[in-house]
Amino acid sequence: MPKSRLVTIPVLTALALVILLAGIGGCGKKLGPPPQSKIDVVVDTLHGVAIEDPYRWLEDQESAETRAWIDAQNVYTQSHVQAYPGKDKIEKRLDELYKIDYTSSPSWRGDSYFLYKKAADQDQYIIYMREGLHGEDQVLVDPHGMNPEHTTSVGMTAISLDGKLLAYSLRQGGAEEEEIHFLDVDTREELGEFMPAANYFGVEIKADNSGYYYSHYSDTVGSRIYYHEFGTDMADDPLLFGEGYGPEIIVGLDLSQDGRYLGLGVYYGSSGKKNDLYFMDAVKGGKIKTLINDVEAKFYANVVGDKAYIRTNWNAPNWRIMVADMKKPNRKYWKEVIPTSDKAVIEGFSLVGGKIVVQYLEDVQSKVKIFDPDGKPQGELSPPALGTISGLSGHWDGNESFYSFVSFHMPRTIYRYDVATGEQEVFDKSKIEIDSDNMVVKQVWFDSKDGTRVPMFVVHGKDLKLDGNNPTMIYSYGGFNSSSTPYFSRTATLFCENGGVYCLANLRGGGEFGEEWHKAAMFEKKQNTFDDLYAAAQWLIDNKYTNPSKLACAGGSNGGLTVGAAMTQRPDLFKAVICTYPLLDMLRFHLTLMGPFWTSEYGSADEPDQFEYINEYSPYQNVTKGTAYPAVLFVTGDADTRVDPMHARKMAAMMQAATGSTNPILLHYDTKAGHMGGTPTSKLVQDVLVQVGFLFTNLGVNVVY
């Protein structure tokens, strides 16, 4: 057990801080210093090394002391927000970008189409159903009346095969936990039972609508698969699968398109080297059988009839697709139908109209190719510009499918696509008004510290001058095999419309070039992610886009760790940093909330060899007093039950006390929002205003509207 000692220094009360900050702010007025934070040093001895933690007390989210500190920080941050030059003009443009009519891609069963819609003056998405593709939209679930603050959001969790039952989620703020409710689609009546708020890794309604399968997770027991029959007590639900797996292991489920087979997936952490697949006959019942559990690789299956099409990186770092017979599932009978590629990564696939529709990523650009069940090419779907195709979905026994296309300068368009004829039509197009013709989108490549070639997307207005003085922002992630592809960003739009340069860097740790790209920044190699970011920044400087006094970086979650490392390792390289819902105290991340899942990506400070390299880069442990740090905006909220908000709280206090510059260190802390979205549109505009205004103010952007 760690040894501890305590040292205490008094803290200002929230009331005193409010009085101190009252009247401060407004354009042209000098802003006061940040709130003083109590120092209460805890010293942990880890593997013989003494680690001081002066702000451990801020880990207690519900203590009166922490709540007073949060209130004081928000007062201080708002004093800066009110002083933003051009604030009203920025807010007006954000209203135009966010407050628009929205329609999602549909899910469908027979002639019933289920979709989300939100009118320009609404805060949350509403679940609708229409009979026929062009039928009248009928409201199924509207969350607006559930909460006067409009912080309750809804989501479609499962739809029965006949389209008669809808399982939908209710989420409060941005919490990870959700309630699951069941609606009779015909009568619009609730079934009278629901699943209480918890973490669920899948819910599937049985083919005959008599009940449902679900994966329930708790941080003490872990994931377990149960079956619930409608009308019975959940306490009596039989346990089907998962016994013996610990909290660090995820057990999920998926029902085949015809409802015949229930697939069960065992995932060894968010970035485990392998996962196992099992299945059971969901119609006849019987024993759970093994599809694969003896290979150190990843497998994702999609079942139609008695065949399982499996995307795997087994002997294929860029992935391949194999097929297994569910009646003879042993892998010695598996066959390869679509081989791996040297250049392109298979990101996913769908089974539509008797064909295999495969989504590739080649040099971080989307490509979709179509094959017959034996893997023979049947054509391809090309994007209209440099951008991202996503969400291509459909049914094996029907030719109809839908997909979305988006790019930095092109808001989302949803297409209805016929895989048999290749014909397509626009199903819905975003109503956002932007001047796409005046935007330049290009991909550049640069050399990282070790010589690795890394790509980056660069977006700006056509009249940009390469004079080395343009306000520039790099957004990055670099982790968990997640690929950063072109997307439509309202922040990027606003930034570029006002003379800025917006960049998306494809750092190692992501999945842009397959599992090898991911592994190149896991565990002891995590520093590669950070070095890639610094190389991206240097390329922009060397090529006269910007200079360190005009350069910002931003990232969230794992990307918050990336920019957290940047602000502590290379404070000279950036003028401003936006760090949202971040991981920052890497010696303690695995001790709270969903942290145990991520030890398969980072390692754990509990292990001596892993502690050594984690301690070298962990942002919280590497803040140095007196360093001239850039301006920093931390963003988090109480309802983040994925990444503990304590990371941002502690880091804000640490950097406010340590910085040797006059650049502001701010914390924007929402007492109702969290990691998983659900923020009402009206509130979202205000939250983005805080970030954009911070960026504009600290990079010297002149608002041109």
User: In this predicted model, what pLDDT tens digit does every residue of 669-678 receive, in sequence order?
Assistant: 998 755 555 6
The whole-number pLDDT of residue 93 equals: 95
3-class secondary structure, 395: coil
What's the average model confidence in pLDDT over 547-573?
A: 98
Assess whether pLDDT exceeds 60 at residue 14: no
Neighbours of 70 (CB within 10 A): 23
Backbone angles phi, psi at 698, to 5 degrees: -85, -15
**Model pLDDT for residues 134-145, shown as the tens digit of each residue:** 999 999 999 999
| The 6-8 sheet, strands edge to edge | 6-8, 40-46, 49-53
Considering the domain boundaries, does residue 363 fall inside one? yes
Contact between 441 and 460 under an 8 Å Cβ cutoff? The reply is no
What's the whole-number mean pLDDT along residues 426-451? 95
Classify residue 397: in a domain, yes or no.
Answer: yes
- For the chain, what is the mean pLDDT? 92
- The answer to whether residue 415 is domain-embedded is yes
84-136 confidence digits (pLDDT tens): 999 999 999 999 999 999 999 999 998 999 999 999 999 899 999 999 999 99
Q: Is residue 186 part of a domain?
A: no
Residue 269: predicted pLDDT: 83
Question: Pseudo-torsion of CA 542, 544, 549, 552, nearest 10°?
Answer: -80
Asked whether residue 488 carries a pLDDT value surpassing 50, the answer given is: yes
* Percent of the chain clearing pLDDT 90 (strictly above): 86
The answer to the question of residue 380 being in a domain is yes
pLDDT of residue 30: 63
Q: 378: domain range?
A: 347-433
Range with top average pLDDT, 17-26, 241-250, 389-398, 451-460: 451-460
CA distance 459 to 477: 17
pLDDT at 129: 97
Give a yes or no: residue 376 inside a domain. yes
Element (H, E) at 336: strand 335-338
Task: Give the tens place of pLDDT for each residue, 634-653.
Answer: 999 998 878 999 999 999 99
Q: How does pLDDT run across 562-611, given as a tens digit for each residue?
A: 999 999 999 999 999 999 999 999 999 999 988 988 999 999 999 999 99
Band of the pLDDT at 270, cuts 50, 70, 90?
confident
| pLDDT, mean of residues 137-164 | 94
Specify the number of domains making up the chain: 1
Share of the chain above pLDDT 70, in %: 95
Residues classed as catalytic:
557, 675
Return d(Cα 154, Cα 142) in angstroms, integer: 8
Is 357 a domain residue? yes
Question: What pLDDT band is residue 219 in, cutting at 50, 70 and 90?
Answer: confident
pLDDT bucket at 326, cuts 50 / 70 / 90? very high
How many residues are recorded in the chain? 705
Residue 262: per-residue pLDDT: 97
Within a domain: 600? no
Mean pLDDT over residues 57-65, rounded? Answer: 97
